[in-house]
Chains A and B, each alone.
Chain A
């Protein structure tokens, strides 16, 4: 059994593909830097993440599958699912070895599985776009906290920049403890040690805008009035608005 050890980055994974083709030795398992080797491990290869190599693999893939299929791979990576790296590895290998593009071959279990993961990542991305709630601070910044199941903030940025391009904002992933700050020109990654918000993501009154509370009340008042009592349907409500997001929503306070 052959094991590869790499830094658990997407570029690292592409470097591993390069190594496999260069040495003609394909891994049976992919390990992170601190993972223990499996039993019966015959060979352990340490992968160095290398920009040139990963770019070459990426470029090679561009010739074998369409751009839209290719870009689903880094999206799937964001799922952070335990075996997603091996799945992507196998997919890339099939894409390189096949005589025609494999992207539409949904009869192949790996192609199908990745298509499924991609759909769930994109679904989670949409949920972030749905359920981010900004609170205005006294100095006019709009702040939001959220805990997506997958690491999707990076792929929501273009949407939020497009929509809220004339206001400064922060969207913070409380689960992964990092976020993005948009300063009217670009969005940059940020991390806060000293948090100005409570464990439900609400800004403390000293930093919130004077009218912030009122608008949250207005929104909650509106939300409560919208339900038609003849049609109450808690099951559907929870399916559409998963409970894991409630914590940060002013209307569910």
Chain B
């Protein structure tokens, strides 16, 4: 280790940082005798970058040289940027030393494609194998599979990685091919299939034989870039919802397009990434996974894009006044969960507490319900009757968005809620 590594590390971190998936969640591993480290179920953010994003993992590329030329990528072949390559041993040592100092939860490893997909993938596999078998490293590993890598290598990687990912990046095949001529949906979905099959097979084997090897125990994830191509939110969310049908698909990430290659006319010259839209997509994704919404309740042909002014749950409620008001003292859990301003936690609290007696608006507030929003959509005995029906959806929307116009232009909170 020397100062030379510092330069390489900076260059490669710089190149890797646009990949947004920060979560290291999903695996729980207590320490094993003779092994170093553990992974806790939800993953710990050890630091936060100045853009507010969680730093849980050493997110790094083995190399940022690449033979491909994807229009949206800072590392593409035709860009004149600083290039660097770490050796296998340098990367392994960095991971171990950072981990032992409690800087990180684990490693997020990716790479540009050099020589061939398999040549590159083979090196990535060597790193994760070295960490696990030589250094007895038991922390978290997320490995980005190289598009087009062979099944053997993907399968081997799956034995050492906690999670693997293959990024879709562009949610429509024509758009993808226009921007990334060397890629198509097949090169993305084939390794996804390998990962899915490997994971299902291992789950099956472990039912019969406890010591059968685990295969990407934290499943797989993917990412889509938002705002680089003309796809609507409906296209994006429909694809997400289809991806979530695969039980090994744990997270879809949305990354607001950043115009890194300013000279490329195939891409929109946006001055700022579409952060509000990105945030709305995460909220919609959240509704799909935890609030029992189906995708066509959130977006459809008449309503193909998410409302930027209000979150998708409130937007649904405003379009469905007939479902409200919900009586928190009697309604089913599923309905309570649909009330804007009530989250999973407070819905659970309401359902468990109401057995002890009627719930008042004061108690709702104490339970974390955002009454400012919720008051128009619920009743609980003593509340004045000023619901969405008396006020009309239009007025409720006006009241709830009043004064928030400024905050939409200023910095927006991005949330990466963990599983």
Q: Give me the interface of A with B, judged by CB distance under 8 Å.
A: 104-107, 109, 112, 126, 129-136, 142, 144, 159, 162-167, 211, 214-215, 217-219, 221-237, 239-241, 249, 251
Per-position 1/0 for B101-116, Cβ under 8 A of A: 1110000000000000
Residues of A contacting B36 with CB < 8 Å?
166
User: Contact at A106–B47, with CB atoms within 8 Å?
Assistant: no
User: Contact at A130–B18, with CB atoms within 8 Å?
Assistant: no
Q: Give me the interface of B with A, judged by CB distance under 8 Å.
A: 1-3, 5-6, 9-10, 13-14, 17-18, 30-31, 34, 36-38, 40, 44-55, 58-60, 94, 97-98, 100-103, 258, 272-273, 275, 349, 352-353, 355-357, 359-360, 363, 366-367, 411, 413-414
User: Contact at A241–B48, with CB atoms within 8 Å?
Assistant: yes
B267 shortest CB reach to chain A, Å: 15
Known contacts A222-B58, A233-B411: A105-B50 contact under CB 8 Å: no
User: Contact at B6–A218, with CB atoms within 8 Å?
Assistant: yes
Given contacts A106-B352, A231-B273, 11 further A-B contacts (CB under 8 A): A106-B349, A106-B353, A133-B103, A144-B102, A164-B37, A165-B31, A214-B1, A215-B97, A222-B58, A225-B17, A239-B52
B358 shortest CB reach to chain A, Å: 9
Known contacts A104-B356, A106-B353, A223-B47: A230-B272 contact under CB 8 Å: yes
Nearest CB in chain A to that of B13: its residue: A225
In this complex, the member of A104, A222, A227, A228 whose beta carbon has the largest number of chain B beta carbons within 10 angstroms is: A222
User: Contact at B44–A129, with CB atoms within 8 Å?
Assistant: yes
User: Contact at B13–A215, with CB atoms within 8 Å?
Assistant: no
A171 shortest CB reach to chain B, Å: 10
User: Contact at B366–A162, with CB atoms within 8 Å?
Assistant: no
User: Contact at A133–B101, with CB atoms within 8 Å?
Assistant: yes
User: Contact at A167–B353, with CB atoms within 8 Å?
Assistant: no
Nearest CB in chain A to that of B136: its residue: A166
User: Contact at A236–B413, with CB atoms within 8 Å?
Assistant: yes
User: Contact at A106–B9, with CB atoms within 8 Å?
Assistant: no
24 A–B contact pairs at CB < 8 A? A106-B352, A106-B353, A112-B367, A132-B102, A133-B102, A135-B101, A162-B31, A163-B37, A166-B36, A167-B100, A211-B1, A214-B1, A214-B3, A215-B101, A222-B9, A225-B10, A226-B53, A227-B51, A231-B51, A231-B414, A232-B51, A233-B50, A233-B51, A236-B414
Contact pick for A221, options B10, B53, B102, CB 8 Å: B10
User: Contact at B49–A107, with CB atoms within 8 Å?
Assistant: no
- Distance in angstroms between the alpha carbons of A163 and B106 in the assembled complex: 12
- Distance in angstroms between the alpha carbons of A215 and B349 in the assembled complex: 46
User: Contact at A159–B40, with CB atoms within 8 Å?
Assistant: yes
B64 shortest CB reach to chain A, Å: 12
Residues of A contacting B355 with CB < 8 Å?
104
User: Contact at B352–A104, with CB atoms within 8 Å?
Assistant: yes
Residues of B contacting A217 with CB < 8 Å?
6
- Distance in angstroms between the alpha carbons of A217 and B4 in the assembled complex: 12
Nearest CB in chain A to that of B39: its residue: A163
Secondary structure at chain A's binding surface: helix, strand, loop or mixed? helix
Residues of B contacting A162 with CB < 8 Å?
30-31, 38
User: Contact at A134–B102, with CB atoms within 8 Å?
Assistant: yes
Residues of B contacting A239 with CB < 8 Å?
52
Residues of A contacting B47 with CB < 8 Å?
130-131, 223, 241, 249, 251
- Distance in angstroms between the alpha carbons of A224 and B10 in the assembled complex: 8
User: Contact at B14–A225, with CB atoms within 8 Å?
Assistant: yes
- Distance in angstroms between the alpha carbons of A211 and B59 in the assembled complex: 22
In this complex, the member of B5, B51, B97 whose beta carbon has the largest number of chain A beta carbons within 10 angstroms is: B51
In this complex, the member of A134, A162, A225, A226 whose beta carbon has the largest number of chain B beta carbons within 10 angstroms is: A226
- Distance in angstroms between the alpha carbons of A129 and B414 in the assembled complex: 23
Residues of A contacting B48 with CB < 8 Å?
236-237, 240-241
- Distance in angstroms between the alpha carbons of A231 and B52 in the assembled complex: 8
- Distance in angstroms between the alpha carbons of A133 and B359 in the assembled complex: 45
User: Contact at B44–A130, with CB atoms within 8 Å?
Assistant: yes
B408 shortest CB reach to chain A, Å: 14
Residues of A contacting B55 with CB < 8 Å?
223, 226
- Distance in angstroms between the alpha carbons of A55 and B161 in the assembled complex: 46
Residues of A contacting B52 with CB < 8 Å?
231, 233, 235-237, 239-240
B377 shortest CB reach to chain A, Å: 21
Nearest CB in chain B to that of A165: its residue: B31
- Distance in angstroms between the alpha carbons of A105 and B17 in the assembled complex: 46
- Distance in angstroms between the alpha carbons of A228 and B248 in the assembled complex: 30
Contact pick for A130, options B45, B59, B100, CB 8 Å: B45
User: Contact at A105–B353, with CB atoms within 8 Å?
Assistant: yes
6 A-B pairs closest in CB distance: A236-B52, A231-B51, A225-B13, A227-B50, A240-B48, A233-B52
Residues of A contacting B98 with CB < 8 Å?
215, 218-219
- Distance in angstroms between the alpha carbons of A104 and B357 in the assembled complex: 12
B114 shortest CB reach to chain A, Å: 21
Contact pick for A218, options B9, B54, B273, CB 8 Å: B9
B145 shortest CB reach to chain A, Å: 22
User: Contact at B54–A240, with CB atoms within 8 Å?
Assistant: yes
- Distance in angstroms between the alpha carbons of A249 and B353 in the assembled complex: 42
Residues of B contacting A130 with CB < 8 Å?
44-47
